Amino acid sequence: MWDMRYSSEAFAFGTDPHGFVRKGPCHDGIGATDRLQSKRHLNMISEFEMRNTGMPADMQILLDTYPRDTWQAHPGFKENTEHWLGAHKMFRQLGGIIRVETEKFLDKSRSADDFAARLSYYGDMMVRNLHGHHGWEDHTYFPELMAADPRFTAGLEILEKDHQDLDVVLESFSKTANRVIQLAALDPKQALSEAGGLHSIAEVIEAFLKRHLSDEEELAVPIILHHRLRG
């Protein structure tokens, strides 16, 4: 659960910024180079069990018939699918924003109070929407695709397992982010020190979303176009 309070201060972009606004200087901490090379952070990444292989070849047979660059021109490409892809674009952007904002804090170009507000806002947006999105996919979207074309059940089950793995990472992200947000008010120097661990998790999430969302799109959209679903 995200610990959130509304504030309109110290928030330079976005709308309706729900988050902490912390007062106090940004103290010295670890730099970007040391952070990225930290063995502790590499070990943190390896703790998560995340799929690191692509989809099996037999799950991509329709993609050969319906390659990505032809989707929008296809008569079966409807508004529902466009909105679904738009949600994926948002998730990719949020993953990148959180990583970059954490880097700015670690590099001391973002103050503790400003970073805490941004992290609370974008972190909450990412976690809540990812949970809602992949819950809908697991219970509604994927069963519809399986029923339309059972050949791809194995691939959809791989994506469902990805969602379970992502839940573990998001829980770790939420706990770590909330601690950094609280420390930004209580002990900005310690917040800066612990933000390196947050950055490692943000990198895991960003890399996961890049692979998972692409695999998901390249499995689901060809099924939709082939069977003229979700019109």
Distances (CA, A) of 130 to 95, 98, 217: 11, 14, 15
Predicted local distance difference test score (pLDDT) of residue 16: 35
Per-residue pLDDT of the chain (231 residues; tens, 9 = 90+): 333 332 322 222 233 333 333 333 333 344 444 444 344 444 554 577 788 888 999 999 999 999 999 999 999 999 999 999 999 999 999 999 999 999 999 999 999 999 999 999 999 999 999 999 999 999 999 999 999 999 999 999 999 999 999 999 999 999 999 999 999 999 999 999 999 999 999 999 999 999 999 999 999 999 999 999 865
Rg of the Cα atoms in the chain: 20
Q: How many CA atoms lie within 13 A of 24 on its CB side?
A: 20
The strand pairing partners of 18, in sequence order, are 6
**Axis crossing angle, helix 153-186 with helix 188-227, rounded to the nearest 10:** 160
Predicted local distance difference test score (pLDDT) of residue 14: 33
Place of tokens 């695999």: 215
Tokens of 155: 């691939």
Which residues, 6+ apart, have CB-to-CB distance to 120 below 8 Å? 2, 3, 4, 18, 19, 20, 177, 181
pTM: 0.79
Name which of 75, 92, 102 is nearest 184 in CA terms.
102
- The answer to whether 179 touches 194, Cβ cutoff 8 Å, is yes
Predicted local distance difference test score (pLDDT) of residue 84: 96
| Main-chain phi, psi angles of 19, to 5 degrees | 180, 175
Which residues, 6+ apart, have CB-to-CB distance to 166 below 8 Å? 130, 134, 205, 208, 212
Predicted local distance difference test score (pLDDT) of residue 17: 33
Which residues, 6+ apart, have CB-to-CB distance to 149 below 8 Å? 223, 226, 227
Predicted local distance difference test score (pLDDT) of residue 61: 96
Which residues, 6+ apart, have CB-to-CB distance to 100 below 8 Å? none
Predicted local distance difference test score (pLDDT) of residue 46: 56
What's the burial of 114, exposed, middle or buried (CB within 10 Å: 0-12/13-18/19+)?
buried
Predicted local distance difference test score (pLDDT) of residue 51: 83
